[in-house]
Structure 1
Amino acid sequence: MIKIRIHHLPVTLGLIAAPPAVSAAETDADTAPEIIVTGRAETLYRVGETTAGKLPTDPLVSSQAITVITDDLIRDQGARDAQDLYRDISGVTVFSYAGVTARGFRQEENFYDGLRGDPYSGFSVPQTFNIERVEFLKGPAGMLYGQTAPGGLFNYVTKKPSFERSIELRGVLGTRDRIGGSAEATGPLTGNIAARAGVFYESRDDFRWNADSKTLILDTGLKADFDIGSLTLQATRYDIDLGGNRLRGVPADDDGNFLASRHWNHNEASDFLWLKSNVAQALLDLNPTDNLQLDLALRYIDAKESQEYHEPRGLFDADGDGIVDSTIREFRDQFRTYESWSFGANAIWSADLGMVQNRVLAGMDYYEDKGSLNYYRARGTTSAVPGLPTPLKLIDPDYGVTDPSTYDLTLIYPDNRPTRARRMGFYLLEEATIGRIVAVVGGRYDDYRDELQGDSSSGNAWTWRAGLTWRVRPDVSLFGQYATSFEPQSIAQQDPKAGGPFDPLTGDIFEAGIKTALFGGKVQSSLSAYRIRRSNVLQAHPDGDPGNDGIDDFVSFGEVTSKGIDLDLAADVTPDWVVTVNYAYNDTKITKDNGGGGFSSAIGDRFPNAPKHQLGFWSRYQFRSTGTAVALGGDYVSARRSMSDQRVKPYFVFDGSVIQQITPAISLLLRIDNIFDKTYASSGFIDRTGHFPGKPRSVFAELRWKL
């Protein structure tokens, strides 16, 4: 006889309490095997503290807006890569590849364990296999992380070795020949040394013609505990083979209608993007005294990326009927190398000074990378020319009639375009708690240098942060903050003949809101209103080349302003039913230009790919008696404008899951994405490359065994 025991986990202020104790009498009387069903609803997919702010803090106390996506939510949604998670973050939508639009601004840089340096380079989307949780810190974060975009930043927290023994196997089968699996194990080797090892592999066809993917991740780690701290060593290998890439969009008309099938691909079957990335990381955590915490982190990345692809270069009317029906193509053969070092050190000192509970954060970080680009190119025309790529029709495209091995290629950078970048910053932040008031103030100094093909550009910047939180009562907080950011201008635009050098892009934010953990933590919410301003945006000089030196000039006179509201809500409707909802209203517009048409759009126009409305939700209900859970999610994004000012239509897509707990160790997940098979554009780019099509309906099943 199998008995089912229900553990009800009370939630208080986002902290998960332990299950109620079972008496010895109950244990003796109840000897039958049992399935313990713990409602996901009661965990709310929440964490007790966030680390993206570099001071571990209860989210209810923080004056920053931070969204945390936990491992439980990642698993429940069957998320395989970062794009599967964006709908869980208010104010975040897809831009391209791993890039997003965050609170109206394009954001492409990702941090790992608080360090700069992305093992996925720029054109591969981060995978979730070795990720414990994802933290998105909203708004300018220059005081904490240095050079960052003003909309926010992602911090991916990787899985570490644990002294709690665990073994997990997963297998996946799905549509479009999807097949894969993973195995990971962690646990103690000795009394003070723990290890972790994991492997992930998945192969599948993409919905775009000629495209497919094969991903292999090998992940290992060791953790050693000692009297005053711990040392964690990690090594990860990423091997990604993307056939028919690098993928651009599908051409669309000015009203946002696709001019070709969403399956259309500008690439040939022989095209590819291949990435091999090796990562080594060391984390040292020390607690030499009760009131002093130190952490030091070092990461090294060595990556190589090779790609051959056909780039769309211009739409045209091939048969003269007045309707665009084909595109010129350019073949690119590129090989990139990338090597980086990243180091960070933080010290947190805490002490009660009379009525004041005091914490001081002091730290520094250093980052350096170098790279090269070997680049060959052949640009076709509107007709078939021997030695050049043939054009491609939008309807009934003819693949395989062109042979890249016969192309007459031109070497673009004879010196392999060497690049080098260096970033170094020092920061200090004070947090003071007096009764129900928590105040923070901090500043940071950054020094940077960029090099490109022998040219160099350097500078420095100060960034600031101030925040205030008022605990109106234990489950309600009011918060506000002011923060700034900076981004060095591209070194390619710093040439004095082009008007350079230019001051960095700057950003600042004013934000205020309310956070709650009502009804014993069963209803958690965050509502905030903000205004972000980005200044020193480069634009074309209204007079073109006023110096008559043969190079058109830029002027640093642009400004874009983002105003909006973010709402995040997670609620236990019943002990078995959880609902998470996020909504964002955003109005991002150009608010200053050079008076001469320096932008493609004018003052008052909406910024590209910045939706005015975005809504995401996830609802999960658990039938405890059968160990079955069903879930439904949705993602709505309102109309946008592309970078070429074409309309990007609104969309609303739905996903669903069924999770069956077969035994205490075995579960089965059935996942359906885009249930109604809606055709839509996830984002817009420029007219010659089109809009990025959203994924059609797909189905997969995952069998999971965990001990």
Structure 2
Amino acid sequence: MSFKTILAAGTILAGLLANAPVLAQETPVASTSDTMANEPEDRIIITGRARTLYRTQILESGKMPVEPLLSTQTIQVINEQLIEDQGARDAADLYRNISGVSLYSYAGVTARGFRQEENFFDGLRGDPYAGFSVPQLFNVQRMEYLKGPAGMLYGPGAPGGLFNYITKTPSPDQDIETRFVVGTEGRIGGAIEATGALTDRISARGGVFYEDRNLPRRNADTRTQIYDFGLSYQLERGEVILQATQYDQDLGGNRLRGVPTDDLGNFLTDRRWNHNEASDFLDLRSTVLQARFNYQLTPSLHVDAGLRWNDAEETQQYHEPRGLFDSDGDGVVDTSIREFRDQVRSGESWSFGANAIWERRFGQMDNRLLVGTDWYTRDANFTGFSLRGGRTNTPDLPTPLSLFDPQYGITDPSTYNLPDRADYPVTLTRTDRTGAYVLDEVTVGNLILVGGARFDRFEDEDPGTGDSFSDERLTWRAGGVYRVRNDVSVFLNWAESFEPQDIGSQTVLAGGPFDPTEGEIIEGGVRTELFGGRLQSSASVYQIVRTNVLQPDPAGDPGNDGVDDFIAFGEVTSEGFELDVTADITPNWVATASYAYNDTRITADAGTSTLNGAVGDRFSNAPENTFGFWTRYQVPAWNTAFAVGGDYVDVRLSRSGQKVRDYLVFDASLIYELDQWRAMLRVDNLFDETYAASGFIDRTGHFPGAPRSVFVELTRHW
């Protein structure tokens, strides 16, 4: 399907929605209080409404608050109610709700065809989940996903989009919530959160989360603890918020790679197979301190600022699969060579951002002007050593592991021939990012136009080798919205992004320095709030072109300096269509659905296959079709709601060119609410499908989806 075809389809869809019956605007929608008028007072289950149950009315990740119908950007929101109803514990539980997003690996996703790993918190850099840990949702109020290049607003980043996690803050309304969970795989946990006013101006919030459970893979388990505290001070026309959060996560039998597959995507062994020993682990310790300030200086001028500090350390000891072989000569691959890795990743970062929004009306024109700046610096440290075993058992080396009859405990890392940790090689990296931007929004009647520019300066340094690289970049953005009716708008967006190349690739010996990779998007679509807001939708078509992707020089090492060269020549083009719908089917039945078509292909290379294929080939881990839905039906007379969801991801190719088979899985929740109590029965992978959530490389296999699991969660408000 060509981009022109997609664009034509989107134009037709826009026309159909724009000509929907005007009477839809006049359809009355009963308020929550109206629909509850005839119910006994002790029943608190919410009557479904799309705009209050699963939707957020104001989007913040565009840095100028805006209604979804009036946004030139595509921003999808997962709010607290949807997180709660789906029993989501980490970010990976939510990807099905976001069109164009699927799992890549660990905390990484495929977003509109491109790998994306960086996360923002409250609009600032400083992800506390360093390396290979997936963001947890205990202290998250909602997640906003800004789709496409966002360089003009956020600086360096991947072209597929970015996640912005909005954290919970203190409220003057007193509430204490306790939660207890128990489930399969030895799952047990609990949480307590309390918020309320301490004085007329000061409010506080505190929360503690703990959960312990076994993971589906052999030897693997997880124990997560989060301690979250905050204070807010109400000013006359603003607020100061102070937050402190400690994240402790202990993962046994980790880091988890995949399960080996054949070239058709079939697992070669049981999906619970694990290459790690029971003594292997991945431990994360991360501390965040954050201060935020917002103030209405005048009726037309609002300012806000945030400062975030993060100190994180991730320690790992694990056995890495290093290649499959046939151990008994029967022609069947049955064993994996393993490599032991002892690694520590640590980093300390500071992030600052400030914005000023000035509003003014000039005759028939409304104007909003955003001026902002941000700064980010991080010192990272990697220490590690690897020791590879062979095809036979050797006392001081990692032993191979059978795929079909794995014998754990034969190998003992304490007997490995490792050097002293003080002699491990160390890699240091220092990163500095500084940006300033301006964005103007003009509204004349039903037409909204926006345009903005950003200047970035970035510097990367390796203090160990003395290598450094610095550069500057300008990125631009422009867009428009036309409100066809009060409940229908069409929009157009053009934006740019960039990402500096890794400092390890910038050395002159490798052919560097290199310009950053660049991304550019053109996107258009239509949004609706039909039938009095009961049917909300967003449909768009887009094209993203990513250039300056590094590839190895086909000539190898033309300078004969001992280091293979790179060439910044690669180009990848992503074209697609997305549709997101949220609807109140009846007063008690609400549903959401997200569909995405994406065609991401290599469109230029340097005459090599290092972009995981040749020109014209599909990009790795980029599914052509994805579809997710969630629907909730409630029976107020029973104080009960029934919910079910599904997730479909199309066929993909791994980075090694192996097929990753398509899958369709279903989940379900049964929810009971009465007075201050809430009980939920949750079933994930309802029909116990065996599938690969994503692919990686052939020696480590595909990441298996989790088998069926069940848990019960009991919540009480005080």
- The question of a shared fold, defined as TM-score above 0.5 by the shorter chain, is answered with yes
* Secondary structure class of the residue paired with 1:235: strand
1:474-532 Cα shifts (integer Å, max 9, x gaps): 10000010000000011111111111000000000000000000000000000000000
Identity %: 58
1:560-600 Cα shifts (integer Å, max 9, x gaps): 00000010001111001111100000000000011244433
Partner residue in 1 for 2:717: 706
2:193 to 184, 189, 197: 184
2:284 to 237, 260, 275: 275
Q: Does 1:668 pair with 2:676?
A: no
2:692 to 681, 684, 688: 681
Q: 1:33 to 1:556 in 2, by over 3 A?
A: closer
Distance in 2 between residues matched to 1:562 and 1:22, nearest whole Å = 45
Shift of 1:323: 1.5
1:198-242 Cα shifts (integer Å, max 9, x gaps): 000000000000000000000000000011311000000001000
TM-score (norm 2): 0.94
The residue type paired with residue 567 of structure 1 is L
Shift of 1:31: 13
- Tell me if structure 2 keeps the 8 A contact 1:142–1:485: yes
Distance in 2 between residues matched to 1:337 and 1:423, nearest whole Å = 19
The residue type paired with residue 43 of structure 2 is I
Q: 1:647 to 1:163 in 2, by over 3 A?
A: same
What is the CA RMSD across the aligned residues, in angstroms? 1.9
Mapping of residues 285-296 of structure 1, within 5 Å: 285-296=294-305
- Tell me if structure 2 keeps the 8 A contact 1:665–1:705: yes
* Secondary structure class of the residue paired with 1:37: coil
Q: 1:634 to 1:232 in 2, by over 3 A?
A: same
Partner residue in 1 for 2:634: 622
* Secondary structure class of the residue paired with 1:161: coil
Shift of 1:22: 12
Distance in 2 between residues matched to 1:71 and 1:122, nearest whole Å = 26
2:504 to 492, 495, 499: 492
The residue type paired with residue 691 of structure 1 is H
Partner residue in 2 for 1:433: 443
Q: 1:32 to 1:282 in 2, by over 3 A?
A: same
* Secondary structure class of the residue paired with 2:134: coil
Partner residue in 2 for 1:507: 519
Shift of 1:126: 0.6
- Tell me if structure 1 keeps the 8 A contact 2:194–2:207: yes
- Tell me if structure 1 keeps the 8 A contact 2:481–2:492: yes
- Tell me if structure 1 keeps the 8 A contact 2:600–2:622: yes
Shift of 1:354: 1.4
Q: 1:659 to 1:379 in 2, by over 3 A?
A: same
- Tell me if structure 2 keeps the 8 A contact 1:44–1:571: no
The residue type paired with residue 465 of structure 1 is R
* Secondary structure class of the residue paired with 1:83: helix
Q: 1:276 to 1:564 in 2, by over 3 A?
A: same
TM-score (norm 1): 0.95
2:221 to 212, 220, 236: 212
* Secondary structure class of the residue paired with 2:156: coil
Partner residue in 2 for 1:447: 457
1:236-258 Cα shifts (integer Å, max 9, x gaps): 00010000010000011100011
Distance in 2 between residues matched to 1:96 and 1:568, nearest whole Å = 24
Mapping of residues 528-543 of structure 1, within 5 Å: 528-543=540-555
Unaligned runs of 5+ in 2: 1-23
2:481 to 469, 477, 487: 469
The residue type paired with residue 592 of structure 2 is T
1:145 to 154, 160, 182: 154
Between 335-344 and 528-537, report the one with greater CA deviation: 335-344
Partner residue in 2 for 1:637: 649
1:21-51 Cα shifts (integer Å, max 9, x gaps): 899xx9xxx9985323322345240011110
- Tell me if structure 2 keeps the 8 A contact 1:566–1:583: yes
Mapping of residues 243-322 of structure 1, within 5 Å: 243-322=252-331
Partner residue in 1 for 2:706: 695
Distance in 1 between residues matched to 2:564 and 2:395, nearest whole Å = 35
1:526-579 Cα shifts (integer Å, max 9, x gaps): 000000000000111111111111111110100000000010001111001111
1:161-211 Cα shifts (integer Å, max 9, x gaps): 011111111100000000000000111000011000000000000000000
Mapping of residues 548-627 of structure 1, within 5 Å: 548-627=560-639
Q: Does 1:36 pair with 2:44?
A: yes
Distance in 2 between residues matched to 1:479 and 1:505, nearest whole Å = 27
Distance in 1 between residues matched to 2:280 and 2:610, nearest whole Å = 37
Q: 1:17 to 1:112 in 2, by over 3 A?
A: farther
Shift of 1:376: 2.1
* Secondary structure class of the residue paired with 2:618: coil
Shift of 1:411: 7.0
The residue type paired with residue 434 of structure 1 is V
2:100 to 91, 94, 111: 91
Larger relative contact order (Cα-Cα within 8 Å, sequence gap ≥ 6): 2
Distance in 1 between residues matched to 2:25 and 2:416, nearest whole Å = 65
Distance in 2 between residues matched to 1:485 and 1:12, nearest whole Å = 38
Q: 1:606 to 1:410 in 2, by over 3 A?
A: farther
- Tell me if structure 1 keeps the 8 A contact 2:131–2:314: no
- Tell me if structure 2 keeps the 8 A contact 1:542–1:597: no
Partner residue in 2 for 1:4: none
Partner residue in 2 for 1:202: 211
Between 411-420 and 343-352, report the one with greater CA deviation: 411-420
- Tell me if structure 2 keeps the 8 A contact 1:377–1:410: no
* Secondary structure class of the residue paired with 1:545: coil
* Secondary structure class of the residue paired with 2:128: coil
Mapping of residues 352-431 of structure 1, within 5 Å: 352-410=361-419, 414=424, 416-431=426-441
Shift of 1:415: 5.4
- Tell me if structure 2 keeps the 8 A contact 1:41–1:620: no
Q: 1:141 to 1:12 in 2, by over 3 A?
A: farther
Q: Does 1:659 pair with 2:671?
A: yes
Distance in 2 between residues matched to 1:462 and 1:620, nearest whole Å = 46
The residue type paired with residue 119 of structure 2 is N
Distance in 2 between residues matched to 1:347 and 1:411, nearest whole Å = 53
Distance in 1 between residues matched to 2:677 and 2:54, nearest whole Å = 21
Q: Does 1:523 pair with 2:531?
A: no
* Secondary structure class of the residue paired with 1:75: helix
- Tell me if structure 1 keeps the 8 A contact 2:395–2:411: no
Shift of 1:336: 1.9
* Secondary structure class of the residue paired with 1:456: strand
1:72-103 Cα shifts (integer Å, max 9, x gaps): 00000100100000000000000011110000
Q: 1:597 to 1:96 in 2, by over 3 A?
A: closer
1:390-420 Cα shifts (integer Å, max 9, x gaps): 0111111110000000001257975521211
* Secondary structure class of the residue paired with 2:638: coil
Unaligned runs of 5+ in 1: 1-10
Distance in 2 between residues matched to 1:576 and 1:473, nearest whole Å = 27
The residue type paired with residue 34 of structure 1 is D
Q: 1:82 to 1:17 in 2, by over 3 A?
A: farther
1:622-646 Cα shifts (integer Å, max 9, x gaps): 0111111001100000100000000
Distance in 1 between residues matched to 2:161 and 2:448, nearest whole Å = 23
Distance in 2 between residues matched to 1:45 and 1:411, nearest whole Å = 54
Q: 1:39 to 1:20 in 2, by over 3 A?
A: closer
